[in-house]
Copies of this chain bind each other. A is one copy, B any other.
Amino acid sequence: MTKVTIKDVAREAGVSISTVSNALNDVDVVNAETKGRVLDAAKRLKYIPNLNGKNLKIRKTKTIGFYTQSIEGFYYGMVADAISKACEMRGYELVIHVTVDKKRVIRSILGHNEDGVIIIYEDLDNELYDSIKEYGIPVVFLEREICSEKISSVSFDSYGAGKVAARCLIDAGRKRIGYVRGVVGSYDDDERFRGFIDEIRNSDAVYDKSADIIGWFEERKSYNVVTEYLRNTPDDKYVDAFFAANDTSAIGCINAIMDFGLNVPEDISVVGCDGIDLTKFVKPVVTTVKNPIDDQGRTAVELLIDLIDEVGLGMSVKLPVKLERGESV
């Protein structure tokens, strides 16, 4: 593969490289006939511009980077897809970087000159945050509430989600409610729990501390830990409802309860959180608090482009949640 460059095209078309550049970039200064020759030559040679050369000059790449530690599972997949669609709509390229190594993240962010980046990390550390802030590159954080001059964020109202989940259980007449945590200490988990607790305090239901268990946002782990709970608890002490920190753990929770020989929602009701498609594939269909993932992706891209185009300062937007009724409550 002998790379064909702008020089080759110039030679082939019998013009200078400046003219090739102008012709190819539709700078309307070049003679129509000349332009035709250049375009022909480029096509004949199958010329593809080297983006490195271009970007080195331009300093605008029309690309957005998305940084995540994983793209496995329903949730990240949906987020990435929403972002990718929004980018396409706005004429930006999206490139997704899957890394856990924070050093690489910042090298990559600063070194690739993407116009801006969208970041989602469960455990965003301050070092990364400070570096990013310092370099002043436009960024929007997902699932976080922070902003500064060049930083925006979009989160959904996790605290509100906790409240909605609790309220739905309370309204269904549930009295003793447990919580299947996600990743302890993560922002989402904390917020959901806070909202959940606050809502319960305003009701005649109680939060059962003995049913505060950790499911790590995963189906299998939640399954195991709920099974363990049921085994180790006298059956007259069972909670009559669980709030699970996300949908996959809600499904693990439901499966554990049913495999143990109890019924959902009759014996124990379960409400999840996120509203991924998966909730509709299983039986019973999971009642869940819908996280508007598509909106989140779209909003993130809009906010980022505003930052890139320097219209206004960074801002933090919080998206509302909605209960999605299934059969598990």
Contact = CB atoms under 8 A, between A and B. Distances in A.
Interface on chain A toward B: helix, strand, loop, or mixed SS? Answer: helix
A46 interface: yes
Contacts of A52: 51-53, 55-56, 112-113
A219 B285 CA distance: 14
B135 A1 contact: yes
Nearest to A282: B282
Interface in A198-254: 219, 248, 251-252
A74 B71 contact: no
B70 A113 contact: no
Interface residues of A, number: 55
Interface string A244-266: 00001001100100100000000
Contact of A136 (B1, B55, B137, B258): B1
- Which 5 pairs across A and B sit closest by C-beta, in order of nearness? A1-B136, A96-B96, A48-B110, A72-B81, A84-B98
8 contacts: A48-B111, A51-B52, A52-B56, A52-B112, A71-B71, A76-B77, A278-B281, A281-B281
